[in-house]
Structure 1
Amino acid sequence: MAKADGVFIYIGTYANEADARSDYDIVKDLHSSGAVGTFDAAVLTKDDKGKVHVNKDETAMRLGGWTGAGVGAVIGLLFPPALIATALAGSAIGAATGHIARGLSRNDVKELGELIDSGQAALLIVGETTLGSALEKAELKAEKRVAKELDVSVKDVEAAVKEAAGEIA
């Protein structure tokens, strides 16, 4: 059972990038209306060479203490660096990866990675557990989806990200 302040991961796959972006806009609207807490999200696509491209809206990255590290951490767990076309470097991502990895089993990682492989585009959201019920009510249009609540504290991840980014002494 996940902690009340735990981390929630959602991945939905889509036939095209436009559909994934449409659901991404719904999630941003949910945040604007106060229905969800902090989160990090990105639309992922793969090119014809199998490289993963991470498409982020810079405004959405700043919707909480994640500073883009939540999505980067999950992508780093799911794909080998050689398959990632977008640079995902930084100590904040490394700090978030360590915490998030503790909440995912090898089977979880395999399931999430295989789901992304099944579509043309994917929406990846990492944030507070309040996302789960809000996303269910929002009825996102993903063809396939996987949602995981991790027994990892959002506050611990955010503190590690801030410390790695030099924001905490």
Structure 2
Amino acid sequence: MAKADGTFLFIGTYANEASARADYNIAKELHAVGAVGSYDAAVITKDDDGKVHVNKDEQSTRHGGWGGAAAGAIVGLLFPPSVLGTALVGGAIGAVSGHLWRGLSRSDVKELGDLIDSGEAALLVVGESTLEDALRKAGLKAEKEIAKHLDVSTRDMDEAVRQAADEVS
């Protein structure tokens, strides 16, 4: 059952990017029909050289409310900069990372980071606690998944994103 004002994190792995993208589109549809509040999502792939790539549909993140900062912050926590094939820089990601780090243990970070292997894809979705029930009911097709409640208030996340956006603009 969802917590009243917490942040929910879902990471699922898929055999390929197309399968992950199909579930990504389901998350976008859930937001479009009002089933979830603020959220951010990304499809993550790891190439044969071990580089991690974050694939986002920028329009969906704008509608999600957190402007891409939440998913970027999670990826930045899970993978060292040396394996990131995409530059994840900016004040919003740094500000949000601090909030998310308080909600994850070191073992959580290791478990989440180890979930994706070369040649596979992952879907990362982070958002309000309403996300948990909506994703469960939607029947996502992940081969493996990890779902975590983070002890981080969505109000705190909203404020961190707002402050960071003000600093960047």
* 2:161 paired with 1:161: yes
C-alpha deviation, 1:4, in angstroms? 1.4
Quote the residue 2:86 is aligned against.
86
- Whole-angstrom CA distance in 2 between matches of 1:132 and 1:84: 28
User: Is the contact made by 1:2 and 1:151 (CA closer than 8 Å) also made in structure 2?
Assistant: no
Quote the residue 1:64 is aligned against.
64
C-alpha deviation, 1:116, in angstroms? 2.0
C-alpha deviation, 1:128, in angstroms? 0.5
User: Is the contact made by 2:50 and 2:118 (CA closer than 8 Å) also made in structure 1?
Assistant: no
- Whole-angstrom CA distance in 1 between matches of 2:48 and 2:128: 34
User: Is the contact made by 2:73 and 2:93 (CA closer than 8 Å) also made in structure 1?
Assistant: yes
- Whole-angstrom CA distance in 1 between matches of 2:129 and 2:119: 25
Q: Cα deviation per residue 1:11-66 (whole Å; 9 max; x = unaligned)?
A: 00000000000001111111111111111000001111100000000111112331
SS of 1:147's partner is strand
Figure out how many residues of one structure are paired with residues of the other and give that number.
Answer: 167
User: Is the contact made by 2:73 and 2:94 (CA closer than 8 Å) also made in structure 1?
Assistant: yes
User: Is the contact made by 2:40 and 2:125 (CA closer than 8 Å) also made in structure 1?
Assistant: yes
- Whole-angstrom CA distance in 2 between matches of 1:141 and 1:161: 30
CA spacing shift, 1:119–1:2, aligned 2, 3 Å? farther
Quote the residue 1:147 is aligned against.
147
**Identity across aligned pairs (percent)?**
68
C-alpha deviation, 1:89, in angstroms? 0.4
SS of 2:20's partner is helix
User: Is the contact made by 1:20 and 1:142 (CA closer than 8 Å) also made in structure 2?
Assistant: yes
- Whole-angstrom CA distance in 2 between matches of 1:57 and 1:117: 22
Quote the residue 2:47 is aligned against.
47
SS of 2:152's partner is strand
SS of 2:125's partner is strand
Letter in 1 for 2:98: G
> Over aligned residue pairs, what C-alpha RMSD do you find?
1.6
Quote the residue 1:23 is aligned against.
23
C-alpha deviation, 1:6, in angstroms? 1.0
C-alpha deviation, 1:114, in angstroms? 1.1
Question: For structure 2, which runs of at least 5 residues remain unmatched after alignment?
Answer: none
TM-score relative to the length of structure 1: 0.94
Quote the residue 1:113 is aligned against.
113
User: Is the contact made by 2:20 and 2:43 (CA closer than 8 Å) also made in structure 1?
Assistant: yes
User: Is the contact made by 2:48 and 2:119 (CA closer than 8 Å) also made in structure 1?
Assistant: no
